[in-house]
Amino acid sequence: MVTETMASFKITLFFFLFLHAFLFLPYMVLSNDDEDNLIQGLNSYRQSLSLSALARNERADCLADEVADQLEDEHCTPVTSSSNIVPTTPSQLTDYPKLLKKCKIDMNSTTDGVIMPVCVPKLVPTLVLTNYTRSQYAKHLNNSKFTGAGVGSEDDWMVVILTTNTPSGNFASSAISWVSQLALGHLFVPLFLGILMLLVG
């Protein structure tokens, strides 16, 4: 009898863990090697200047991906001099408020940030890094007020968004939406069901 109960418990626990993992598999985020390599290169550059490393900012990552998607169809002219590169302002982006809403970012929390897109054919890593560290963008990378970054890429476009730790530059979340509340419920339902099955079994 005890053996049957123990076997039932193990099977229940196995299915609970399997179900839990299966439900969360779609929510796992895969990182982009090009983006990770760039942020590592930018942090090495900043470290050489005795500046703190840039921490990844999830909402800025989301916005950088959206901006890169928007730039995807733009003509890519490889940069040959630093005078060709100018930081993007929100007014230059069509649908900027829509992009912020999609990433759940409060517009007031973006005023001190800077959006820095570059276009490099095939996103050759050394050229991408050089387009940031040896251009007009370097003045932003050299500024200690920037403490975080979001990175996104699409085709030949790479977008870096620098954030601060101030309310006007931290890319803070807008009000909690019902979608995020639903996601939180999604987390607790399998846990509750598993505990209930253990108590009943």
pLDDT of res. 25: 42
33-163: CATH topology is: Pathogenesis-related Protein p14a (3.40.33)
Phi and psi based region of residue 163 (left: phi greater than 0; alpha: psi -120 to 50; beta: remaining): beta
pTM for this predicted structure: 0.69
pLDDT of res. 32: 75
pLDDT in tens, the chain (201 residues): 556 665 555 555 444 444 444 444 443 343 478 999 999 999 999 999 999 999 999 999 999 999 999 888 888 765 544 434 445 555 567 788 999 999 999 999 999 999 999 999 999 999 999 999 999 999 999 999 999 999 999 999 999 999 999 999 999 987 544 444 455 555 555 655 566 566 666
Strand bridging mode 157-163 / 114-119: antiparallel
pLDDT of res. 118: 93
pLDDT of res. 38: 97
Where do the DSSP E strands lie in 7-121? 55-56, 114-119
Cβ neighbours of residue 36 closer than 8 Å, sequence gap 6 or more: none
pLDDT of res. 93: 75
pLDDT of res. 62: 97
How many angstroms separate the CA atoms of 163 and 132, rounded?
Answer: 16
pLDDT of res. 22: 44
Assigned token pair, 98:
């829509």
Residue (of 97, 100, 113, 110) closest to 65 by Cα position: 100
pLDDT of res. 16: 46
How many angstroms separate the CA atoms of 137 and 148, rounded?
Answer: 15
Return the domain boundaries, the chain: 2-26+180-200, 33-163
